[in-house]
Structure 1
Amino acid sequence: MSDFTMINCCLILCACLLSSQAVWSQRVRVEPEVTASPNGSVNLRCEFTNSGITKLTQVSWMFERVEGDRHNIAVFHPLYGASFPNKDFDGRVSFTQGSLENPSIRIDKLRMADAGRYICEYATYPSGNEQGTTTLIMLAKPRNSAIAIPVQASSSEVVVARCEAAQGKPEATISWITTIAGRYNHTSVPERDGTVTVKSEYRMIPTPAENGKEITCMVNQRTQIEPKTFPLKLVVEYPPTVTIEGYDNNWYMGRTNAVLTCQADANPAPTDVTWRAASGQLPPSVRVDQNRLLVRKVDETVNTTFVCEAKNSLGSGKKELAATIIESTEDPSSAGVVAGAILGSFLALVLVSALVAVLVMRSRRHQHGYSGDGEQGAYGNKTRLFGGKKASKNGAGANNNGPIYTYRESDPGTLTEKCNEFPRMTGSTPTAHDILLSGEMNEAERRKFDALNDSLEDEEEEERYDRFSGLPPSYQIHRHEDECAPYLDDDMESQRDGSIISRTAIYV
């Protein structure tokens, strides 16, 4: 037989032996792992299955804290009963059923030191000893805490916050959540009872700007349903930084109740705030009220440099302000009010004047016969009036009873009689003066009618003279049956004096 064949036979034999051992060991049924907490209780189950012809002699429970160091803690014999030989488990361990087929035990008042391997071992015949192992994991919820450590502002890196998860099992993990630039480190310290304490510190260079900034410690551990968080605010201490508020560069002579406020930024808060003048004593018109400086009335004594100083346990800080007095006897705010009132009155006057001017122009246009849109009224741009006392020098008489006719260029081709235009002249022919008083003409036409009126008066004189001399009767304009009927434009003839007469409606 070759060497290769011999090796194969050995491997097959070993496999068979292991398989048989696995089958035997599977007959002792236990839980691979259980968990418990300190001061609690735990059940360790064990049973022998498919015993067949195998005879069970006795069963033992052994505790192994570290590998290879075993101690009997419980023994059960069908004839001699139960025995608990280990003093560490005296009074804390017991069999739940007390039989060889189910020798499960219960451990009470658990300690962290109880964590380890528990072996349930059967003594049998003829197969020998068979066993099963359960690992007990003791879980301890850590005591979590976090604090912000007060530090002074400096240029060196220091610890500003600390977070701790004490006596936890298994070991906790700690992380930091913040926007502040820095770094952190962890340390783990095993405890005698098997727990672990984890500490973490956050380090940074503290400045006054970081005072009050937020930083959060977060602890994760198996026994916690969710992470435990600790929001913190950094505490950075620094001496006062002082500013003076309230000066507006408008301290004029005679101003009253001016106020300066001393603001001090410090941690811890300032314990003392004082005011003084750089030259010594404060002016008599000045009064100090805590961190405020009250100037009852501005005068030449206030034209000085004021100094505010604040102190805390870390030091002091001060700020100076040089007040400049303006030579003014008038309150600029009052002058502004007066100027505003004058300007407002002027604008109101301009608006009222513009409104009056518009109303006057509209009234004049209405009197001159203009419509609202700038066009003339019912008589057009150029209105010609006929009739009245018009008479020719060749002996034609006056038509004192005739109507007044107007020629409207806005309505070409018609001559229209104006009826009832002069209500105060009912039954008589209006004179040029009456026409002027009617307000129906512009200035140019008024001047024309003034000249026409003079010529009419001269003609009346000649007419009276002609009548006395027995001359033929005057020509008259024939009145239409309709007192207001129009005459055609082509029947009219213009005269040098601006009037127009009809060629066909004149008879003797």
Structure 2
Amino acid sequence: MKERNGRLRAASQRVKVQPEVVSYPGETITLRCTFPDQGEIQLTQVSWIWEPTNEGERDNIAVYHPQFGASYPASPFTGRVDFTTPSLDNPSITIKDVKMTDEGNYICEYATYPSGNEQGTTALVILAKPKNTASIVSVSWVTALTGNATTASGPGEDSTVTVSSEYRMVPRPRDNGKDLTCIVNQRAQEKAQSIPLKLVIEYPPQVNIIGYDNNWYVGRTNVVLTCEATANPVADSVVWKAGPMPDTVQVKNKVLTVLKVDDRVNTTFVCEVKNRLGVGKDQVTAVVREPSKDPSNVGVVAGAIIGSLLALLLVAALIAVLVTRSRRQQQGYRGNANQGAYDIKTRIFGGKKTSKNGAGGNNNGPIYTYRESDSETLTEKSNNAPRGEPLNTTPTAHDILLSNDLDESERRKFDELEAAEEEDEGYDHFAGAAPILQIRPHDPHDPAAYLDDDMESQRDGSVISRTAVYV
């Protein structure tokens, strides 16, 4: 038995391999294998077999056949293992990106004739460099949404810690499409990491009918209702309903048009919108009113009223101008009262009638007095006597006229003068100083010659003599 075992050990030594290979995670290693003392033995095939340390199942990870070439069966090493020089003389392999789980025994096995299989084993030891660090991973959320965030941590692979955070909220249609950002802070990072997300919320249609202005009157044309809807996913149908639908109504997709409003439009219009999550609807009840008044008639009436008001204002302005002018004239006439009364007898005779303020009328003109003398003539008396001094008491022409010595014809002329004076006093006095009428008799020695003179009435109420009066 021992001899047999010795022969087995001698036979196994024909395959030359490395007893042990040490590596670190992430490195690339080479596992060598040769059959140097071949002799009369024929080599037909070589294979690499992995035997994990946790006593799991063995896996062929690489096979070489001189006729069929290299083959890599499915295993945890797929994509990471290759023959360095595919041949029976040097069937060494390389393994890239070594992991902690790659640790175990790697067997290089030859298929020979006539001795059978010959093999050699290499032990792979994976060492992990210690990292004595402690850091806190914080996760936060940035969003305008209303919700709550929760964060939890637990052990991960290769002695790491996994931190997870959740943001919980009640989905609402108005939140669809809003942004949500997860921010991660950790000591190993130079700056915070932002992970942007966009929220997608599915909801049935939300419907709103717009366009009704509560002014649908008989005869109005082309009024429009529009069915607006939001939904996710997008709505796939829009249906208008009314009971019954009037003939004057046209429907095209989400738009309903009333060509002409009449009593049949006095109904309720319903819009239904549907997607795969459900149906949404809205309704509008139309109230048909009496026809509105013609805006053109309203404009005509308004124009007539404005024109009438302007005409009244113009008439009032004219009346105000006339009244103001009349008042000014009257005030001007009354303002000259100090000039003395402009009566007929004064203009003719320069009589002694006084004005309202006691001053004599027309005191600026000459005063004629009648002096009883042999010639019985009218003489001119100066009007420059000082105030307070009595004038000459010699009878004046006025006194003569008022006496009973006048004959009938002379008294008739005097009565006419009196009547004209009374009529003239009914008017306001003229503004400014009136011209003084001076009497010059034909014959200074015969006063009766003046009294018999022809008198001529004027338009202003005065009388003058054609032969004895001058202005």
TM-score of the two chains, using structure 2 as the length reference: 0.45
TM-score of the two chains, using structure 1 as the length reference: 0.42
Structure with max Cα Rg: 2
